[in-house]
Chains A and B, each alone.
Chain A
């Protein structure tokens, strides 16, 4: 590998920071192909609402930027413009590099909610991988530490005034960097400190260097509060105190584990409230109710909150930089009766709310249900930031009123059981939902049951709130775009939605049933939010398919731009209530094998209409079927725009199980035609099946699989028919002596009709055994065929298995080859 000098003095400040960040990483040359993302770094990571912040976005393939597309309202990106490329690209741990830079202004609305704002960039030819930016309610200042240990003590603390967000850095000092901030203290006032570190991390690979801890100290250095991890923000610490006296207090930020690395964090230092839980942790949608807020250092308080009319989880911030998560449900609340052993639930559906007060606490709700009820019982506790790890248990109550044996017990959930898809990471990607049980209960008998909830972690306490939503199991299907790349790195080739104007692009949309779904029929996809001039092409999805090709076509009239779209799955024949949501999950701070610390959850997709592509690709629907056990050659044609003669790569990205395809093929520079071969396995699905070919330009030095930096188009979706094989040939074990001839007979069973005659070849003969011409001819009337085989004096003695036949049928202007049979031939001595 070639080392390059670093000319730091000539680089702008933001580049200097990036370089400092990556000093421990390697320099690479452009020839080093690796895992590339478009966006590798965004500086700064956070801005105050109501301000406009200059943001530098760095990475690869960011030349010719056109637009920043946010997933949520609140931020607009202005003046998106290219900056000069870095003179020396910076290599990153996952193999990507920083070489391109884009400067823009993020105009953050005054009413913009704090938190994370994912976005993608539209360039002339692509939609980039994800980027994130964060919003604080407070003024944002930089730590600007000199060196790494200049504010490590109370005496050298950096003075700040609440309410403020400090953008700090944890440096790579061998002593371990400590950042201390001095805050004026007023007796009786609240002081709150919250760190964003893991939550603002935007690297694919990372580890404990992001894990910080916090302490609040008095003037003598005595600790007043501390935190490392917590159930609300996991690895990101938060602490709050009621200040005991006037003077100064100090907020100390340091790493939980010594890792000499350089990372950015933000610490919010404020006088804001910092409740740790709200009770009840949800209410009926659209209602206005009083809630108890618990865990604040100034004590519990109540507040009236308007619950959103849209159901689901919502964030309630009050005056804090981070929210408490709450639930909005279409049914009323039942609150745990703290004085009763069992809280009776009058009517279902309902949301049952309570607090696991102690380690030993078990809360019980009494439910009356009827045979045939199909209830989805879903707990929301850890999901909302409660410290507990709940276990749910059901017991039928006997006629004498005593709870019977456990009918079922549920602890954790698989993420799909929480309707979270596309996260087959090895770990749970920081998604707390997995700790909460979710179960569909098919009630077998009428009766009265006890539903018990306990905590398996011994974390019960005053803030250990939970909510159990009990409702009829809904029918639901979720659509999502899943990355199939190594360690779930974003694969823009398979999940990016960039459609060149006047062309088309196809992605595979995943379709998965939600927990409790009982609908098993075909589905239709409906796209919502498509911009003018763009249409979706997707045939009916047969029942049982878990992914399906969806094509987006941009007319010549479509204007370059972008849109946030969703794909809704609908039953083809039902008017029944049906839920369908779109989602995409992007992991960050990954480890080998896909152990992510956090996941950016998206509920829409960014579609971009890009500049016209310099080519298009066409295939024709094959005029003959693909038979099981057979092969088919499909002509592929490229239409080049004048002047575009580069080589083009093409492949099939969508295949049902049982159909084999070639790996990506290259059409040489200037060529316009190629052939794609596909094969049908014995389990290839019979009947019509969509087929599509995608093609892209080639960019040397960038990972082809992820597809960063390429112009991509697809062919139209054509129908491929898969049928049974023409014939099935079988033979009895046969033998031949050295130096002799033998008639080798195969019985014919006709499976699919064919016209004319077919030639049959014998495959897999051992050395020294040959077929004597003429080869047998097969027709629709053939019942058996026979080969004349001869064994030479050198023929290998012994038994050979796996002798088969290749049947060659001419139809539709091409040869259809089918393999069939598995015979045994023994060669005997003379």
Chain B
């Protein structure tokens, strides 16, 4: 039996959907073939090939086909598929004289050897459909069949009270002529997490364990998902009522409520101070900051600290570092790649300035998108030199990276076929590429300079399948932008428009992920129908907040940091122990490589030099400056390679790695980063010279490194360790070494 609450939800959603279909069905003809109608290749046969998996990537849909027979992946090229089935091997794949002897059928039913095995039975509807079509003379129906424009499932959300419960989804396709069709038996289904819910080939969903996931149906080029929640046992669960600090808490707790998960408690002041200082200023708090904050009794001191840190120039440096990674800012001296250090610095300084002055993020992006001119004097134009580090500008590679970066959408699959797990078609792809086919680089006045411009006479991209010129059009649009002039202006307007939620949700999600360690859509740059947000209303709200604040980064960061969700403890409770994606408690986050290095420097008081940069440069202000080409991946500094700073080889968010590794542990233990700084003895020496009491030195070191006082047991242990050697610098350096090598130091918690 379904959970009662769910029934309400399902009923209401189903009702709305069915009403909609009912209206359409009442006014427009169905496009399912009536028995007396001629079987259609596109309408009837292609879906069978799709459903049976014939045109999947592992079978005949692979780029080279399979066993000598190729189909377009998931059917993006019906015309080509028709040619290959009917004309490529005349009389074999389809046999008009004896339709039953067509290889297409014999293979599918396993009557002859078939690598893919038996796909359906001789008495199945699938078999009959294809047989009818062959018997009718394999008619081609190019241009006569309405296109599918949407796929709708009978439920929008499923909530199961316990494992083992189930229901069946109905899939309905909407056609371009307004008609509808039940495609439940033609769609393909999958679940994002089968340990929560499974879905079979008939659309039957079965709950398998507590948690939340999505199940999906795919038909034609559409994938539609249903949020599926399987509730844990109610036994022992106490419904909490934590105070919501702002809208974020309301939306997160609402979701947790539905999942029977209680959020953790608030973290203590010291933990908050360290967390927010690392997150906003990319360093641990100083001893003075610790004392001031922990002794501050004002109720709004956390919000005030957030405000204070948001004004810190380090906030701009940190976010400039994040953007510079994503935008692949690197400088070299190999002129053909157009990424001279001077150009890279012009770009980096421009990015940093925009963050520093609080430039609205939509304007920030828009200026880059529409930029032209010198790579040396017009920083933002380096979007067109840095995003793809190549001697020649490559519109396709650029368009793919552009989409991934600014929309979180990976459209590159659609270069060769319609996107298998999203709505993007090849038309979308090539139309999008055409925004950049006119982008050119030309030599400038001096060797380091390249001038970027839009050649408005350049031809648009051509469709891979039929060579059609594809004028520039924004993703999801049917009509191209107006012809003539630089199309990037239209692109920028669409991209950064408040109404383009692809853009604002992408930004909001990335900002959230930066502060919470995980995106609401994760990975943050793989937004697709089959990878929906774990809390849609939350992402919508964050996106709206970003738009309402005129794309102000600090506003959203402030809201997030002021939320109770951000300030939750890492310590879980029984109900949220296994939650890894609904933000019911804080998660341990290894510090970014640059933040970790700056933290070591801040704690030890000994600076770190970076090749190509002047003394005093912080790690978060560093980007690779190379001698040579920037075409390859580069961390620029060995520390960054070890600790997973982005190599800038691609725009993928996965380039920034936060996983701990053995080499990191070894580097901190015996590498020169910590060792050299301890050897120079600055901090400990000063403390000893100031005649500070040994207990106090230990306390200062704890606060300095971990932003907390030692526990009584730690104090006792340290006292034993210091013992009679209270004046021995080496003992305190050992303590400092131990603290720096603790996971507590390397992680934000």
| Cα of A435 to Cα of B445 in the assembled complex, Å | 8
Q: How far is the CB of A230 from chain B (nearest CB, A)?
A: 8
Q: Judge whether A79 is part of the interface by a CB distance below 8 angstroms.
A: no
A229 close to B614 (CB less than 8 A): no
Chain A residues within an 8 Å CB radius of B405: none
B723 at the interface (CB under 8 A from A): no
Interface code B117-130, partner A: CB below 8 Å = 1, 0 otherwise? 00000000000000
Report Cα–Cα, A456/B488, bound state, in Å: 13
Return the contact of A174 from the options B345, B370, B442, B615 (Cβ within 8 A): B615
Kindly state the separation between the CA atoms of A406 and B456 in the bound complex, as whole angstroms. Answer: 12
Stretch at the interface among B81-89, B166-174, B179-187, B374-382: B374-382
Given contacts A175-B614, A428-B443, contact A229 B377 (CB under 8 A): yes
Residues of A within 8 A of B377 (CB): 228-230
A597 to B448 CA separation, bound complex (whole angstroms): 9
Q: Within B446-486, which residues are at the interface with A (CB < 8 Å)?
A: 446-448, 451, 453-454, 457
Query: Do B615 and A427 touch (CB < 8 A)?
Result: no
A378 to chain B, nearest CB (A): 18
The answer for the CA separation of A411 and B341 in the assembled complex, in Å, is 27
Interface string of B318-347 (1 = CB under 8 A from A): 000000000000000101000001100110
Judge if A561 is at the interface, Cβ distance under 8 Å: no
Q: Is A596 an interface residue (CB 8 A)?
A: yes
B447/A427 in contact, CB under 8 A: yes
Q: Does B153 contact A (CB under 8 A)?
A: no
- Produce 1/0 per residue, B128-166, CB < 8 A to A: 000000000000000000000000000000000000000
Rounded to whole angstroms, the CA-CA distance of A598 and B453 in the bound complex is: 24
- Asked whether, in the complex, the Cβ of B615 is within 8 Å of the Cβ of A257, the reply is no
Contact call B446/A234, Cβ cutoff below 8 A:
yes
Check A456–B445 contact: CB distance below 8 A.
no
Contact A458 B443 (CB under 8 A): no
* B447 adjacent to A597 (CB under 8 Å): yes
Q: How far is the CA of A406 from the CA of B457 in the complex (A)?
A: 10
How far is A516 from B420 in the complex, measured between Cα atoms in Å?
A: 58
Residues of B within 8 A of A430 (CB): 445-446
Chain B residues with Cβ below 8 Å from A256 are 342, 345
B613 at the interface (CB under 8 A from A): yes
Q: Is A426 an interface residue (CB 8 A)?
A: yes
A693 CB within 8 Å of chain B: no
Closest-CB distance, B625 to chain A (whole angstroms): 8
A234 touching B615 in the complex, CB below 8 Å, given contacts A457-B373, A457-B453: no
Contact present for B342 and A211 (CB under 8 Å): yes
Looking at the assembled complex, report how far the CB atom of A705 sits from the nearest CB atom of chain B, in whole angstroms.
24
In the assembly, what is the distance between CA of A165 and CA of B609, in Å?
Answer: 35
Give the shortest distance, in Å, between B442 (CB) and chain A (any CB): 6
- Closest CB of chain B to A462's CB: distance in Å? 17
Q: A457-B373, A457-B378 are in contact. Are A175 and B443 (CB under 8 A)?
A: no
Minimum Cβ distance to chain B for residue A721 (Å): 45
> Counting CB contacts under 8 A, is A379 at the interface?
no
Best-buried of B442, B444, B454 by chain A (most CB within 10 Å): B444
A389 within 8 A of B: yes
Is there contact, CB below 8 Å, between A458 and B457? Answer: no
B612 at interface by CB-CB < 8 Å: yes
In the complex, chain A residues whose CB is within 8 Å of the CB of B378: 457-458
B446 and A258: CB pair below 8 A?
Answer: no
| A contact patch SS | loop
Within 8 A of A (CB), among B383-412: none
Centre residue among B342, B442, B446 by max chain A CB count within 10 A: B446
Known contacts A406-B457, A427-B446, A595-B335; A458 and B342 CB within 8 A of each other = no
Determine whether the beta carbon of B445 is less than 8 Å from that of A208. Answer: no
Q: Closest residue to A412 on the B side, CB-wise?
A: B442
Q: Which of B607-625 contact A (CB under 8 A)?
A: 609, 612-616
Q: Which of B374, B609, B612, B614 contacts A457 (CB 8 A)?
A: B374
Known: A174-B614, A389-B373, A412-B442. A257 touches B345 (CB 8 A): yes
Are A428 and B616 interface neighbours, CB within 8 A? no
Encoded as 1 (CB less than 8 Å from any B CB) or 0, chain A from 379 to 417 comes to 000100000010000000000000000100101100000
A residues 585-635 in Cβ contact with B at 8 Å: 591, 595-598
Asked whether A459 lies within 8 Å of B614 as measured between CB atoms, the reply is no
Q: Which of A208, A228, A457 interacts with B451 by CB under 8 Å? A: A457
Q: Evaluate contact between B445 and A434: CB separation under 8 angstroms.
A: yes
Which of A175, A228, A598 has the most chain B CB atoms inside 10 A of its CB?
A228
* A175→B615 contact, CB < 8 A: yes
Interface pair A427/B614, CB less than 8 Å apart: no
Looking at the complex, which one of B342, B346, B370, B454 makes contact with A208 (CB distance below 8 Å)? B342
Within 8 A of B (CB), among A16-45: none
Whether A258 and B613, one on each chain, are in contact in the complex, defined by CB atoms closer than 8 angstroms, is: yes
Residues of B contacting A459 in the complex (Cβ-Cβ under 8 angstroms): 373
A243-273 with Cβ < 8 A to chain B: 256-258, 260
Please give the distance in Å from B259's CB to the nearest CB on chain A. 51
Residue A215 interfacial (CB < 8 Å):
no
Which chain A residues border B451 with CB–CB below 8 Å?
Answer: 389, 435, 456-457
A-side contacts of B333, CB under 8 Å: 207
Q: When the two chains form their complex, are residues A257 and B442 in contact, meaning their CB atoms are under 8 A apart?
A: no
Contacts of B442 in A (CB 8 A): 411-412
* Cβ-defined contact, B446 with A235, below 8 A: yes
Does chain A have a CB within 8 A of B414? no
Q: A208-B342, A257-B342, A457-B378 are in contact. Are A432 and B609 (CB under 8 A)?
A: no
Q: Is B445's CB under 8 angstroms from A432's CB?
A: yes
B543 at the interface (CB under 8 A from A): no
**Alpha-carbon distance A430/B444, docked complex (angstroms):** 9
* B383 CB to nearest A CB, Å: 13
A260-B614, A389-B373 known; 10 other A-B pairs, CB under 8 Å? A174-B609, A176-B615, A208-B342, A258-B613, A427-B445, A427-B446, A427-B447, A428-B443, A458-B373, A597-B446
Closest 10 CB pairs of A and B: A595-B447, A457-B373, A176-B614, A456-B453, A427-B447, A458-B372, A258-B614, A175-B615, A174-B615, A229-B377
Binding site for B on A (CB under 8 A): 174-176, 207-208, 211, 228-230, 234-235, 256-258, 260, 382, 389, 406, 409, 411-412, 426-432, 434-435, 456-459, 591, 595-598
Can you show 10 pairs from A to B with CB atoms below 8 A apart? A208-B342, A229-B374, A256-B345, A406-B457, A428-B446, A457-B372, A457-B374, A457-B451, A458-B373, A595-B335
